[in-house]
Amino acid sequence: MKLKIRTKLLAGFLLVIIITAVVQYITLENLIQSLTQKTGQILEEKASNGLSLLQTFNAQNRLQLLKLSESFIEISTEPTSSELDEFSKRIEDIMSLNSYLDRISILNLNGKELVRVDRYSKSTPYSDLNYLIPTNEFTEATEGTTAYSKVYSISKSETPQFDMYFPIQTATKTIGVIKAQFSLESLWDLIAEIKAGTSGFAYVIDDEGRIIAYPNPEVVQRATLINTLPIFTHLSNNTQKDDDQSNYFLYSNKDDQPVIASGVKTNELNWSVIVEQNQEEALSQINRQVTVIYTTVAITVLLLSIIALAFSNNITASIRKLREAVHTFKEGDLSTHVTISSGDEVEDLADAFNRMVHLIAEKIILLENQKKQLEHDAITLVQNDKTLHAVNEKLEAERTALVAERNKFLVTIQGINDAVIAVDLSGNITIFNGAAERLTGYLGDEIINHKMDQYITLTSSTGEI
């Protein structure tokens, strides 16, 4: 299948445009990926700030419980009721400084409550103290390790809580456990200042994906779970961030809003801080740059298309002009001349075509002149042939007459009784009559056209002739 040059040129430009568009698309995708990655890094940094606040919160709680444990060690040998009352007041003082603390109990290694102080009912009478049902966290604390319970709520309407089991340790052994009950009602206040734009905020989830700190308290009270979101799966499976892993996630949150989110997890509490931001706001800068790039690509494609059409028209116009000249020359117009000033190979081709036409025209004119000359020569030859034919006929007639006269002469010679011998200028015998035959004894047929001196010697009275 033949393709026109214009088609080939447009196809070539189209290929260039496609390659340009593909390169721009790849560049754009890389740019979007890079900017999204940076946005994810910003959200991750904010989540890390929230994690630092949680770690500070936990460290302060442990520090207060450490001071309590040191105070209890001073009276732990055989504490009197007055000493326990005094110790309870110390607990009340600490609770007044810590809005998260709801209850503190001092337990011996058997789980028996020695002291219990509530935020609102204050110290519990000794007669109302109970034994703690053993738990894994209590057991860990008796072994010298601080342990944390899972987040729980007594009822759906109550604020979630968690318990910290802090070991009371001397230099050599563990002598008791402090069980501190913390309310998470004010946990949101701890991270409320962490913002991402106008729509982004931080919230906290526990190890089961339950929201335990959120701008809307009702979300916390409903024990809302986000354990189906990809970010929770990621945080649950990865306590340490891998450099090859993405630091952000794109998904629709619990309110079906498309968000970009990042999060980090604390190892001690086993909680995670997540920062979410509306995608439209978070990626607004990216969208603006994408719009600029798309506009640039569109303008580039348009300009390339215009250039391609103009360039192809310029080339094909010259070629069409040359093709028309070839067609005119083919029809027999030897005066064909094409003028192309494209300044490229097409112009060179047109000049070569003009030279070729000029040479061919000269050859044709020369051949026509030669043809005319040959025709003239042919006519002359015919005329000369007629003249020669007439001359030949005349000569033939004269020859015939001469032959007749010669024959008559020969007959006359033959009738003469005297010997008659005739020779030509070369001495060859041309006539030898009968009398000569009788005189010499030679026959005429033998010696005619031979040298006479080979056969006959002529003499006179004075000698040989």
CB 35 within 8 A of CB 285: yes
Determine the length of the chain. Answer: 465
Write down the pTM of the prediction: 0.62
The distance from CA 230 to its chain's CA centroid, rounded to whole angstroms, is 32
Q: pLDDT digits over 264-294, tens only? A: 998 888 999 999 999 888 778 777 777 887 7
Output 308-315 pairs: Cβ under 8 A, ≥24 positions apart: 308/9, 308/10, 308/13, 308/14, 308/17, 309/10, 311/9, 311/13, 312/5, 312/6, 312/9, 312/10, 312/13, 313/6, 314/342, 315/5, 315/6, 315/9, 315/342, 315/344, 315/346
Q: Which residue has the higher pLDDT, 263 or 11?
A: 263
Question: Tens digit of pLDDT for each residue in 394-427?
Answer: 888 888 888 888 777 777 777 787 888 888 888 8
Domains of the chain listed by start with CATH number: 5-282 (3.30.450.20), 416-464 (3.30.450.20)
Q: Does residue 168 surpass a pLDDT of 90?
A: yes
Q: How confident is the model at residue 79, as a pLDDT?
A: 77
Q: Is the pLDDT of residue 243 over 70?
A: no
pLDDT of 461: 61
Q: What is the mean pLDDT of residues 90-118?
A: 91
How sure is the predictor about 105, in pLDDT bands with cuts at 50, 70 and 90? very high
